[in-house]
């Protein structure tokens, strides 16, 4: 599959067929994700992954009912985090600019996008869920305090094929600053 197809055809999947994912496939996904650029190559993204029903139920406990429902029959659930105070920070611990940990979120978003695109390329569907209970996820997955939780991603075999939502015209979102 070419890049254009992956970019234009990937959709958020809210219904999965029963299925599984192998350890090799999981590691292929995480490898693709970690190939995303990051601030000074800091690679702060971390992945907490459940593939068993027991493990997924631990993560579901940290999701509101609607989001938990979207994970039924998922092959895996990821809790995405990043190491705080690294991406966007100098070695002495002070931020390189006003964005601070915003760079960690930015880098984590890049890593997440790589994961989503690779999953689609491998025949899986995904949905990113940002509404979650940070404390429950931190406890259930034993996530240390020096990591910031960004999202939960459900991954599985799509049981729906949603159409593309309307996108804004490029002319509505681009501003040229080169004087033209």
Segment 112-125, tens digit of pLDDT: 999 999 999 999 99
What tens digit of pLDDT does each residue of 60-91 get?
999 999 999 999 999 999 999 999 999 999 99
What mean pLDDT is predicted for residues 100-116? Answer: 97
pLDDT-based confidence at residue 1 (cuts at 50, 70, 90):
confident
- Would you place residue 180 in the very low, low, confident or very high pLDDT band (cuts 50, 70, 90)? low
Per-residue tokens: 164: 């593309």
Of 158, 93, 103, which is closest to residue 125 (Cα–Cα)?
158
Average pLDDT over residues 137-144: 98
Confidence (pLDDT) at 151: 98
Q: What is the distance between the terminal CA atoms of the chain, rounded to a whole angstrom?
A: 37
Residues 6 or more apart whose CB falls under 8 angstroms from that of 110 comprise: 36, 37, 38
**12 pLDDT higher than 70:** yes
The partner residues of 46 in beta bridges, in order of sequence, read 81
Thinking of the domain 3-173, which architecture would CATH place it in? 3-Layer(aba) Sandwich (3.40)
**27: CB partners within 8 A, 6+ apart:** none
Mean pLDDT along residues 22-35: 97
CA distance 27 to 101: 27
Q: What is the residue extent of each domain of the chain?
A: 3-173
pTM: 0.95
Average pLDDT over residues 96-109: 96
CB 21 within 8 A of CB 75: yes
Averaged over 38-60, what is the pLDDT?
97
Which pLDDT belongs to residue 117? 97
Question: Average model confidence (pLDDT) for the chain?
Answer: 96
Q: Which residues pair with 149 in a beta bridge?
A: 81
Full 3-state SS string of 6-44: HHHHCCECCCEECCCCCHHHHHHHHHHHHCCCCHHHCCC
Percent pLDDT > 90 in the chain is 98
């Amino acid at each position: 599959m070419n890049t254009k197809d992956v970019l234009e055809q990937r959709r958020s999947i809210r219904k999965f067929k029963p299925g599984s994912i192998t350890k090799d496939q999981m590691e292929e996904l995480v490898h693709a994700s970690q190939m995303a650029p990051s601030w000074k190559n800091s690679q702060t993204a971390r992945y907490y992954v459940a593939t068993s029903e027991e493990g997924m139920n631990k993560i579901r406990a940290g999701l509101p009912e609607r989001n938990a429902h979207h994970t039924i029959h998922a092959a895996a659930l990821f809790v995405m985090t990043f190491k705080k105070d690294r991406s966007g920070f100098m070695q002495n611990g002070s931020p390189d600019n006003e964005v601070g940990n915003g760079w960690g979120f930015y880098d984590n978003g890049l890593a997440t996008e790589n994961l989503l695109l690779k999953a689609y390329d491998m025949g899986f569907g995904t949905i990113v869920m940002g509404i979650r209970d940070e404390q429950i996820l931190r406890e259930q997955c034993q996530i240390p305090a020096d990591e910031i939780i960004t999202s939960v991603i459900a991954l599985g075999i799509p049981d729906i094929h949603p159409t593309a939502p309307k996108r804004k015209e490029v002319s509505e979102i681009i501003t040229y600053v080169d004087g033209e």
